[in-house]
Structure 1
Amino acid sequence: MSRKVHLQTSVVSVDWLNANSDASNLIVLDCTINKKINNTSQRIPNSRFFDIKQKFSDTSAEFPSMLPSIEQFQNEAQALGINNDSAVVVYDDKGIYSSPRVWWLFKIFGFKNIAVLNGGLPEWLANGFQVEKYSDDVYSYGNFEASFQPELITNFKGIQVYTKRLDTVILDARSRPRFNCFVDEPRAGLRRGTIPNSKNLPYTELLNVNKLKTKKELSEIFNILVKDKTILVFSCGSGITACILALAATQCNFKNLVVYDGSWTEYGTLIK
């Protein structure tokens, strides 16, 4: 008899994934950013490559990694064989880096049965679990139907409203040197700067090497910054690592979480 799983949390361990790899509705997505797939590329067995940059971003947008349309996301997710009753686990080759962006994208488009693999491929390998080489896989088209959740994301116009709201804290995931304008932005020509009334929370401070810190450790970090605020807005360079903050805040049971999609790349370019 086939066995299905339902994800009870937004983060799962490599032990959990290994123990549940036979679940009939489980789909594992390799969300490594800018990955070049060839005959030497390693993956967790039966992983499917989720191409953030080319298939799950608006490639016509002025800024990188911008949210795709609901039609694009639904079509590409269906092409990966994702169904409405799938249980999706996402990972990347750094541990916790681009996979939270994919987790957040699925949430934006109304899919909830999804979790990030804590520690990603490095943790999987460190535990001695099997990997395999990529092959030319063909997937049965899925029946996933997207439903846009606009409250989970904001844009240039929206972030300017959030900067003035007394119930909101804006947390920037960039490094402290970037946030404090001590170094240039990696994007050529992009000015240094910060969003008004934002606070710095480098995403690296939420990690123990390549895994998320414990809920207790994360809560201690967030509580110092959030205090009495009821809306948390997350930014970074281009909307990728902001989602690590969103994942960590979700682990701490915070509600009303928003990601600024264009982040500093958009804000620093458009603000006059």
Structure 2
Amino acid sequence: MSNFGPLVEVGWLRAHLGEDDLIVLDASAYLPAEGRDGRALYRQAHIPGARFFDIELFSDPETGLPHMAPSQGRFARLAGELGLRNDARVVVYDQKGLFSAARAWWLLKLFGHARLAVLDGGLPAWTGAGLATALGEPAPAAPTRLQVAFRPALLRGLGDVWANIDSGRELVLDARGAARFTGEAPELRAGIAPGHVPGSASLPFTELLEADGRLKPAATLRALFAARGADGARPVVTSCGSGLTAAILLLALEAASLPEGALYDGSWTEWGGREDTPKALGA
């Protein structure tokens, strides 16, 4: 199914749920200030048969930064424990509509999974269609041995973004709210300076979403990207606070049929948490 993804609608998932080659993942995650537990909420209500994809587990525990991509070995081990298979179609969703599901989608892409989609509108779209949810946790899936193919072109580090300030080869889009980008609003984490990477452009992820959490139509997305200079001529790198919502911009690029982008994994938590990085204020 070469044309699978990047989005599927509730009607499609309802029609295909339970098929042998379909795996559904609840990748709900919340910011520390929200005080909510994605797994606990998953146990209260999830799409029947969905497995919980723990973004905190699928992270590098050694960096001191939140949500950093894990090593190939760690990813392969955790994905195998979750029962993921190379030949499976994987649909990811979250409890908000679209927030953290895109991060799981990007991680799976980063490690080479091809048949991927995000449920447009997430769990709210499912329940809003009057469809049933399940309680608790299903029995663990049979473990698998996943073949991982790391795609470094989808990932950027601090040095890449720093070098790009002078070269301007890539367009850095910041998914945080506009007031955080300008430095008018404080950061969500203590000890993080305000502002943005010099030369980057602001595109809050919320501007890409309808009120119900679905992505806006492809033509609207293309116009929003073009207004920031992302028209396909220059490679795009996305950033946010800690690597979650930057992935929404990457998903939207694909939904808009624009060239695939890369994610600055450390995002502003890394950049703004260092004293030696240059920082810009204002628009």
CA contact (8 A) 1:79 1:141 kept: yes
Give distance in 2, aligned partners of 1:231 and 1:174: 19
1:102 — aligned with what? 104
Are 2:16 and 1:20 aligned? yes
Shift of 1:144: 1.7
2:188 — aligned with what? 186
Label 1:6 to 1:78 Cα distance change in 2 as closer, same or farther (>3 A).
farther
2:243 — aligned with what? 239
Give the secondary-structure state (helix, strand or coil) at the position aligned to 2:166: coil
> In the alignment, residue 273 of structure 2 is paired with which amino acid?
T
Shift of 1:258: 0.8
> In the alignment, residue 53 of structure 2 is paired with which amino acid?
F
**Percent identity for Structure 1 against Structure 2:** 37
Shift of 1:227: 4.3
> In the alignment, residue 92 of structure 1 is paired with which amino acid?
D
Shift of 1:163: 2.4
Shift of 1:268: 1.0
Give the secondary-structure state (helix, strand or coil) at the position aligned to 1:233: strand
CA contact (8 A) 2:105 2:117 kept: yes
User: What is the root-mean-square deviation of aligned Cα atoms in Å?
Assistant: 1.6
Give distance in 2, aligned partners of 1:262 and 1:243: 12
> In the alignment, residue 9 of structure 1 is paired with which amino acid?
G
Give distance in 1, aligned partners of 2:160 and 2:232: 21
Label 1:271 to 1:234 Cα distance change in 2 as closer, same or farther (>3 A).
farther
Give distance in 2, aligned partners of 1:253 and 1:147: 23
Give distance in 2, aligned partners of 1:112 and 1:39: 26
Label 1:43 to 1:67 Cα distance change in 2 as closer, same or farther (>3 A).
same
Are 2:88 and 1:86 aligned? yes
Label 1:65 to 1:196 Cα distance change in 2 as closer, same or farther (>3 A).
same
Give distance in 1, aligned partners of 2:41 and 2:121: 23
2:62 — aligned with what? 60
CA contact (8 A) 1:14 1:124 kept: yes
Label 1:16 to 1:260 Cα distance change in 2 as closer, same or farther (>3 A).
same
Shift of 1:80: 0.8
Shift of 1:137: 1.5
Q: Aligned ranges for residues 1-272 of structure 1 at < 5 Å? A: 8-33=4-29, 34-37=37-40, 41-53=44-56, 55-209=57-211, 210-225=213-228, 226-227=230-231, 229-272=233-276
In structure 2, the gaps of 5 or more residues are 30-36, 277-283
Give distance in 2, aligned partners of 1:118 and 1:56: 22
> In the alignment, residue 263 of structure 1 is paired with which amino acid?
S
Paired residues in the alignment total 267
Alpha-carbon displacement from aligned partner over 1:3-26 (angstroms, at most 9, x marks no partner): xx6662211111110011132110
Label 1:186 to 1:39 Cα distance change in 2 as closer, same or farther (>3 A).
closer
Alpha-carbon displacement from aligned partner over 1:145-193 (angstroms, at most 9, x marks no partner): 1111111001111111222333321100000110010111010111111
Label 1:39 to 1:211 Cα distance change in 2 as closer, same or farther (>3 A).
closer
Give distance in 1, aligned partners of 2:251 and 2:136: 28
In structure 1, the gaps of 5 or more residues are none
Give distance in 2, aligned partners of 1:229 and 1:6: 25
Label 1:244 to 1:52 Cα distance change in 2 as closer, same or farther (>3 A).
same
> In the alignment, residue 32 of structure 1 is paired with which amino acid?
S
Provide TM-score, normalisation by structure 1. 0.94
CA contact (8 A) 1:178 1:185 kept: yes
Give the structure with the larger strand fraction. 1
